[in-house]
Amino acid sequence: MKIFYHKKIIVLWGLVLVSFLPSCTSHQQSEVSSTVADSAEYSCPMHPQIIRRQPGDCPICGMTLVKQNDTHAAALKDVQLENLLKPTNQFVVSDIPVISVSQKSADIPVKALGTIAYNTSAAGTISARVTGRIEKLYILYKFQLVQKGQKIMEIYSPELLTAQQNLLFLLQHDAENTTLVNAAKQKLLWLGMSTEQMQQVMQTRKIAYTVTVYSNYTGHIHEAGNENMAAPVSVVMKDVTLRTKELSIKAGMYVEKGQTIFTVFNPDKAWVLLNIYASDLSLVKKGASATITPETAPDKAFKSTINFIEPFYRNNSKTLTARIDFNNTTRHIPIGSQVNAVIAAHIANAYWLPVNAVVSLGVDKIVFIKEDGGFRARKIVTGVTTNNEIQIIAGLTSTNQVATNAQYLMDSESFIKLKN
């Protein structure tokens, strides 16, 4: 009987504990909720620096403070900066006039600068036909003007002496052998002796110890001798102007057979060398007409056509060179003169837009295409600009409509974001 009563007391005590636990848990939850409520913060949507522990109004703008949501704050951590900073000009709501690209051909004047140069294809060379020593030099200074048939120098050559002796021997002992006599005559001509000199040797029966070299061209003499024939280094160091005033080749120097001694450039046959920039290469073609105006003689402007475009860039140059042949006989334009040129270029069936419809962002060019309710920026590829129009190479079709004046649709170039 006592044992049963003891168990009943234990059961009753357990029921008391069970009934007591829920009330304790509820009390703890209320304390936690109170703590969370006390830690809640309220801020102004317009002035996030304003933070309060209880609801109220913003002391700056008067707006109602909004309770900060921790779950939203955690979600913002996953948002990329690129998604938050939306460009203001990516889409513009506007109703300004629009225009479409026009397709047409156009004549475009391309301006270029250049110089007058010698026509190297018309240059002649004066070479030594025999090995020997220069006995006399008739050329006194660089760039001297010589005429065709003028004496250049006299050369002493043992080979020429031997050839003359052979001819005189045949004339004296076997004059009837025309085959050998003609061969001896031909050899003297090949060695550089003129017909008049050879006839004089045959008539006088005396050997000419020197042979005269004549110029076969008219023009300015340019030295073509080797550098080892130049003046001594000590002389050059004392006066560097000797290189531009005096010839390095002198009387008494030896020359080798086949050596080019002088080059003759004819100033009456000249070139115009025009510098063509990369942006104009697609416009300038062989056969294009050009108007050339020399800076030294503006009254001597003339028209000609491009004969050749060099297929390479010269050293330290960002331009290609276009050549124009012209006759300088009557104009007498000095070689090296600067010229201005206008090349007539033609573009067939190209697309064009007004310049105001295109915005330049430095390297990129954009237009604003008409869409429902506004305009959207699009990158395009442009060509040349002429007559207040710009060529459209890629990025637009004939059905696209763009803003006539793109400047009205932008606040700042740096805000424009393109989606290619």
* For residue 109, pLDDT beyond 90: no
* For residue 88, pLDDT beyond 70: no
* Predicted local confidence at residue 406, as pLDDT: 80
| Among the listed residues 143, 128, 114, 104, the one whose alpha carbon sits nearest the alpha carbon of residue 386 | 104
Q: What's 311's DSSP letter?
A: S
User: Are the C-beta atoms of residues 109 and 344 closer than 8 Å to each other?
Assistant: yes
Q: Which residue has the tokens 């909720």?
A: 33
Helix (H, G, I), strand (E, B) or coil at 364: strand
As given in the structure block, the two tokens for residue 185 are 């005559």
Mean of per-residue pLDDT scores for the chain: 77
* For residue 194, pLDDT beyond 80: yes
| pLDDT category of residue 60 using cuts at 50, 70 and 90 | confident
- Count the alpha carbons within 13 Å of 332 in the hemisphere toward its beta carbon: 1
Beta strands in 163-217 (DSSP E): 210-214
Question: What is the dihedral sign for C-alpha 6, 10, 15, 20?
Answer: positive
pLDDT per position as a tens digit, 215-226: 988 988 887 644
| pLDDT category of residue 344 using cuts at 50, 70 and 90 | confident
* For residue 373, pLDDT beyond 90: no
- Mean pLDDT in residue range 61-87: 58
pLDDT per position as a tens digit, 179-190: 999 999 999 999
* For residue 339, pLDDT beyond 90: yes
Alpha carbons 234 and 398: distance in angstroms, whole number: 74
